[in-house]
């Protein structure tokens, strides 16, 4: 009887593990939309002469291309102001973009470089069509998801309807809407509280905040891994209690995130947001639900 019970539990665990994982390797290239219609890595990283090597010979920036061999012209974005991520519909977070690739702040690679293609206001974007690349699940309806922050069909220059990013978008711990986490002297978020540690077990902490003045700050790259569009590798350990393996994702999200999941009641997309928005998580509100894929 004990052996039968053990086998049943083993089969149940194996079934849960299989359901959670992607099941098979992605059939399309993991770089996805950032293949740039076949041009590949060189569309962003010009291996010779940086931005000049991508045909942007008119740039006035002598440091162009010196960071990550960046091949897009950032000159039109330097020092530009953004009122981004409004919480009341009018003000938003006041941000000023770096004035140089050599500024040394996390928003150089975490925001500025992203906007050289994804702005559409100050920078029109290279090969951008302002449409999502992936096939959207039926639950999303028939609407087109825009990809340009500053020109998303709501009016050129409108950043108020975009998630806050930048040096002023500081992640917090211990507030009404935050986790019971702590921030160490280097600006690293430690998910060691009773609720936050339980969440890490139930889902994980995959986001990658930047650090500015010893505080964690939200960048575009906090939530997005620009090099992996459709898959994320998870290793069981301090960052996540999920079984190790490859998990489906979308939109370059750097965590398990699959709105196309066929599982009824799947909450993985909500779990992704809860990594930072801990006040709305199950663990902070007496709930016992774990991650359902």
Does 9 fall in a domain? no
Pairing of strands 189-190, 182-183: antiparallel
Q: What range defines the domain where residue 276 resides?
A: 170-293
Does 72 fall in a domain? no
Does 31 fall in a domain? no
pLDDT number for residue 24 = 61
Say whether pTM exceeds 0.95: no
Query: Which two three-digit tokens encode residue 117?
Result: 């293609």
Does 230 fall in a domain? yes
Across the chain, which has 293 residues, the per-10-residue mean pLDDT values are: 43 42 75 92 91 78 88 92 86 93 96 95 79 84 82 91 96 96 98 98 98 98 97 96 95 95 93 98 97 95
CB 58 within 8 A of CB 35: no
How many domains does the structure of the chain reveal?
Answer: 1
- Which residue matches tokens 């009641």? 265
- Which residue matches tokens 């928005």? 277
- Residue 214, CB half-sphere, CA atoms under 13 Å: how many? 5
Query: Which two three-digit tokens encode residue 118?
Result: 């994804």
Does 88 fall in a domain? no
Does 6 fall in a domain? no
Does 241 fall in a domain? yes
pLDDT tens-digit profile of 116-168? 999 999 998 666 778 888 888 887 877 778 889 999 888 899 999 999 999 99
In angstroms, the first-to-last Cα distance of the chain is 31
pLDDT number for residue 140 = 81
Does 10 fall in a domain? no
């Amino acid at each position: 009887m004990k052996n039968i019970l053990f086998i049943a539990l083993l089969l149940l665990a194996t079934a849960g593990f299989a359901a959670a994982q992607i099941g098979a390797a992605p059939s399309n290239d993991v770089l996805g939309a950032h293949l740039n219609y076949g041009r590949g890595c060189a569309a962003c990283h010009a291996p010779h002469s940086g931005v000049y090597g991508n045909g942007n010979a008119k740039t006035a920036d002598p440091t162009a291309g010196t960071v990550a061999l960046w091949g897009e012209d950032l000159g039109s974005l330097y020092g530009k102001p953004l009122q981004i991520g409004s919480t009341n519909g009018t003000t938003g977070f006041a941000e000023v973009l770096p004035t140089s690739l050599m500024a040394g702040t996390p928003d150089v690679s975490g925001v500025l470089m992203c906007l050289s293609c994804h702005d559409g206001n100050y920078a029109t974007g290279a090969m951008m069509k302002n449409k999502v690349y992936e096939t959207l699940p039926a639950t999303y309806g028939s609407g087109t998801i825009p990809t340009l922050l500053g020109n998303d069909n709501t009016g050129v220059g409108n950043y108020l309807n975009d998630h806050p990013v930048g040096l002023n978008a500081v992640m917090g711990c211990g507030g009404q809407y935050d986790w019971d986490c702590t921030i160490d002297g280097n600006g690293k978020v430690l998910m060691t509280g009773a609720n936050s540690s339980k969440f890490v077990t139930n889902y994980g902490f995959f986001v990658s905040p930047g650090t500015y003045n010893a505080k964690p700050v939200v960048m575009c790259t906090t939530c997005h891994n620009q090099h992996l569009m459709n898959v994320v590798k998870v290793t069981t350990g301090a960052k996540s209690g999920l079984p190790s393996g490859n998990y489906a994702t979308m939109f370059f999200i750097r965590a398990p995130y699959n709105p196309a999941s066929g599982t009824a009641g799947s909450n993985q997309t909500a779990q992704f947001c809860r990594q930072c928005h801990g006040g709305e998580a199950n663990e902070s509100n007496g709930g016992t639900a774990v991650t359902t894929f």
